[in-house]
């Protein structure tokens, strides 16, 4: 193949000489363009998977765009030069980086501060390729503006910097996921009795519920009901009376909670419940309904006159683990039981409308 030497920048002339001599360089350029599209597309698909969206549609779209980019370069052959298929690659990259930046603000990714690094990096890439495409189409790849700001060298520097930013953010997200208890881990469910899970099983299932709730931007209420006075009943009426009270307590809770609620028993005096809610107000109403039903059951048993029920509620917010919710709701139940009047204590819910204790 003959070499064509253009006047001007010696470095640029050297690149053109090598392009002319390397007959297969256009094939390498086509593969490289497609690989670049796949790299950015994988970042978008990874965000979709993290947010619980199906992988197949994203993979299919990225594959289609990569093949289109590859063919747009190959069909021009060696005559297309070093910028063959560039328009298609630029447009594809700006679309995929824009989609990735948007995906990082949705679902579970949107609730984590770490994902802002992904949003910023892919957003900058999208804006850069919008500008690069405009200059390429309006000024041409040989223009001074394009050579100074959008040629291969500055683009490589920007690409490396943005890729490192995304990789660091993804690594931090991965480390945070591994630190979450019970996410992706197998757990053995232990049932205490009558559909009530043991404390370890309840916490494990609740952690999985929280992950799904974050993905769907939904909320869960954790309600703890704690009774006091059972020892006095045992002393006055014996173990049978205590068992009757406990049975009425569990039956009252089972009939008052929604079918979708998860039930657990920490100890003979403490029951925990989780249920999907729209917010703090609905959580308080649900806790009130459950505690009122329990009190009605207790009133039906003459031996339960001295039983006190403390009710603590915590509504999920991004960043709180199952253990956090259980501890806060437990603290609320203890405060409620120690209060002078029966109250539902709301702990760690919406800062705007939460109250330390809300009387029924």
Most confident of 199-203, 205-209, 220-224: 220-224
Residue 251 has pLDDT above 70, yes or no: yes
Per the CB < 8 A criterion, the answer to whether 360 and 343 are in contact is yes
**Nearest-angstrom CA–CA distance, 308 and 310:** 7
- So what's the pLDDT on residue 175? 72
Q: What is the mean pLDDT of residues 157-172?
A: 86
pLDDT band at 260; cut points 50, 70, 90? confident
**Nearest-angstrom CA–CA distance, 360 and 347:** 16
Lowest mean pLDDT segment, chosen from 35-44, 45-54, 157-166, 337-346 = 337-346
Residue 359 has pLDDT above 50, yes or no: no
Per the CB < 8 A criterion, the answer to whether 337 and 228 are in contact is yes
pLDDT band at 177; cut points 50, 70, 90? low
The larger pLDDT score, comparing residue 158 to residue 181, is at: 158
pLDDT band at 169; cut points 50, 70, 90? confident
Lowest mean pLDDT segment, chosen from 71-75, 79-83, 272-276, 305-309 = 305-309
SS3 185: coil
Number of H-type helices and E-type strands within the chain:
13, 8
**Nearest-angstrom CA–CA distance, 133 and 38:** 19
Residue 183 has pLDDT above 60, yes or no: no
pLDDT band at 2; cut points 50, 70, 90? very low
- DSSP code for 114: T
Output the 3-class SS for the chain: CCCCCCCCCHHHHHHHHHHHHCCCHHHHHHHHHHHHHHHHHHHHHHHHHHCCCCHHHHHHHHHHHHHHHHHHHHCCCHHHCCCCCHHHHHHHHHHHHHHHHHHCCCHHHHCCCCHHHHHHHHHHHHHHHHHHHHHHHHCCCCCHHHHHHCCHHHHHHHHHHHHHHHHHHHHHHHHHHHHCCCCCCCCCCCEEECCEECHHHHHHHHHHHHHHHHHCCCEEEEEEEEEECHHHHHHHHCHHHHHHHHHHHHHHHHHHCCCCCEEEEEECCEEEEEEEECCHHHHHHHHHHHHHHHHHHHHHCHHHCCCEEEEEEEECCCCCCHHHHHHHHHHHHHHHHHCCCCEEEECCCCCCCCCCCEEC
Mean pLDDT score of the chain, rounded to an integer? Answer: 78
On the CB side of 37, how many CA atoms lie within 13 Å of its CA? 30
What's the pTM value of the predicted model, to 2 decimals?
A: 0.52
Give me the torsion for CA of 133, 139, 142, 148, rounded to 10°: -70
- Residue among 151, 157, 152, 153 nearest 124 (CA): 157
**Residue 107: count of CB within 10 angstroms of its CB:** 19
Residue 45 has pLDDT above 60, yes or no: yes
């Amino acid at each position: 193949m003959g070499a064509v030497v253009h006047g001007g920048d010696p470095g640029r002339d050297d690149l053109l000489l090598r392009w002319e001599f390397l007959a297969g360089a256009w094939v390498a350029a086509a593969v490289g363009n497609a690989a670049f599209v796949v790299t950015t597309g994988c970042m978008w698909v990874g965000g979709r998977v993290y947010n619980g969206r199906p992988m197949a549609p994203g993979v299919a779209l990225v594959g289609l765009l990569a093949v289109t980019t590859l063919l747009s370069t190959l069909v021009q052959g060696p005559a297309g030069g070093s910028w063959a298929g560039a328009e298609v690659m630029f447009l594809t990259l700006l679309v995929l980086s824009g989609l990735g930046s948007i995906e990082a603000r949705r679902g579970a990714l949107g609730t984590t501060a770490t994902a802002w690094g992904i949003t910023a990096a892919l957003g900058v890439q999208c804006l850069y390729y919008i500008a690069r495409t405009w200059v390429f189409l309006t000024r041409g790849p040989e223009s001074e503006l394009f050579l100074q700001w959008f040629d291969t060298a500055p683009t490589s520097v920007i690409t490396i910097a943005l890729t490192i930013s995304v990789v660091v953010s993804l690594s931090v997200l991965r480390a945070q996921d591994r630190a979450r208890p019970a996410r992706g881990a197998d757990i053995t469910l232990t049932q205490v009795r009558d559909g009530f899970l043991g404390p370890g099983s309840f916490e494990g299932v609740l952690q999985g519920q929280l992950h799904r709730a974050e993905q769907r931007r939904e909320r869960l209420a954790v309600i703890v009901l704690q009774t006091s006075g059972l020892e006095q009943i045992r002393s006055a009426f014996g173990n049978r009376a205590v068992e009757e009270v406990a049975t009425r307590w569990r039956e009252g809770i089972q009939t008052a909670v929604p079918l979708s609620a998860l039930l657990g028993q920490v100890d003979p005096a403490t029951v925990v419940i989780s249920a999907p809610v729209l917010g703090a107000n609905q959580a308080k109403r649900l806790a009130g309904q459950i505690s009122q039903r329990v009190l009605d059951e207790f009133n039906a048993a003459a031996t339960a006159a001295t039983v006190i029920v403390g009710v603590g509620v915590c509504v999920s917010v991004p960043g709180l683990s199952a253990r956090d919710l259980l501890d806060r709701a437990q603290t609320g139940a203890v405060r409620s039981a120690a209060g002078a009047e029966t109250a539902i204590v709301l702990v760690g819910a919406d800062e705007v409308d939460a109250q330390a204790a809300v009387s029924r």
